[in-house]
Amino acid sequence: DTGVSQNPRHKITKRGQNVTFRCDPISEHNRLYWYRQTLGQGPEFLTYFQNEAQLEKSRLLSDRFSAERPKGSFSTLEIQRTEQGDSAMYLCASSLGTGRGYTFGSGTRLTVV
């Protein structure tokens, strides 16, 4: 286990469809974060988990977005009724303890057509 794994790497979907992304963090990391990055911008925080508990959600995370981390292991991010504005890179990161040194995955690039 050498890093944070995200699947799929790319997803093209039609507007209105639901999509789900998966993140497998570094195994001993208890914190897991989701960020969204659009072209030419820095990553923006969406939500984070400490073990299985979702402790904070950004206002960016509308009702169409839901994230889970069952048993404090992998996490899924689901977007329902996708819109073109959801097109972005979705990044997952994990950390141990204080959350200082994040390790990011390579992201899932979502394109909504």
Question: What's the 3-state SS for 8-47?
Answer: CCEEEECCCCCEEEEEECCCCCCEEEEEEECCCCCCEEEE
| 14 versus 98: smaller Cβ distance to another protein | 98
| 16 versus 101: smaller Cβ distance to another protein | 101
Residue 93 sits in the site that holds another protein (CB under 8 A): yes
Chain positions contacting another protein, by CB under 8 A = 4, 31, 33, 35, 40-45, 48, 55-56, 91, 93, 95, 98-107
